[in-house]
Chain A
């Protein structure tokens, strides 16, 4: 089973700052990685798929990069609504796995 490790666990930033979130896979997942955002009391929302493609309706301040085992989600300038938990996810061998999440909190 491929394990996804996200870092840091918590990121404390101010609105307007740049956020850089990391997701590392225990073995190569090529570019088949997604990122989700989850706010308290809400279902997750797909942000990025195939490592770097924004999902429908996702603003351009969200970008994804990486391939193989190392991936990054960047939020170029944090808006108040961006403070949330972010998860990466991959599928291999007919099973999905999620990373443990990174909480982006207001500093």
Chain B
């Protein structure tokens, strides 16, 4: 079955760190760029970061640049998001999403993992 499964969310204090993972199955993971998209409670969708299929190119929203790092391990079909210096405004459900080849539309989504930043 083609699917994405996120893990690693939880409660963390402001200034803390968390590492999210996304396990991919059912497709050739290395052939696809991948996105992280988040959604704060009751709010809309916000793009966080993208990574090329090879992992050589990475991109970040201004709101997370310098604090978050996206990476991938194509041998393990796993996407990761290392989140440091977390703030209350980072509280959200984080989705990993597969990107289509040309324009990086999100054609496959995981169920999401909730990150709560609070003291």
Contacts and interface: CB of A to CB of B under 8 A. Distances in A.
Q: Do A and B come from one complex?
A: yes
B interface: dominant SS? strand
Interface in A44-101: 44-46, 49-50, 55, 87, 89, 91, 94-101
Which 8 pairs of residues, A with B, have the shortest CB-CB distance? A96-B47, A43-B109, A98-B45, A34-B105, A94-B59, A49-B105, A101-B44, A32-B103
A96 B50 contact: yes
Contact of B47 (A45, A49, A55, A95): A95
A24 to B, nearest CB: 16
A89 B105 contact: yes
A44 B47 contact: no
Contact of A95 (B59, B107, B109): B59
A98 B61 CA distance: 12
B111 interface: yes
Contacts of B46: 98
A interface: dominant SS? strand
B110 A49 contact: no
Interface of A: 32, 34, 36, 38, 43-46, 49-50, 55, 87, 89, 91, 94-101
A38 B111 CA distance: 12
Nearest to A55: B107
Nearest to B109: A43
A96 B35 contact: yes
A97 B47 contact: yes
Most chain B beta carbons < 10 A, residue from A50, A91, A97, A101: A91
Contact of B106 (A36, A95, A100): A36
Contact of A49 (B44, B61, B103, B109): B103
A96 B104 contact: yes
A50 B44 contact: no
A38 B39 CA distance: 11
Contact of A44 (B59, B61, B104, B109): B109
A87 to B, nearest CB: 6
B104 A91 contact: yes
Contacts of A50: 103
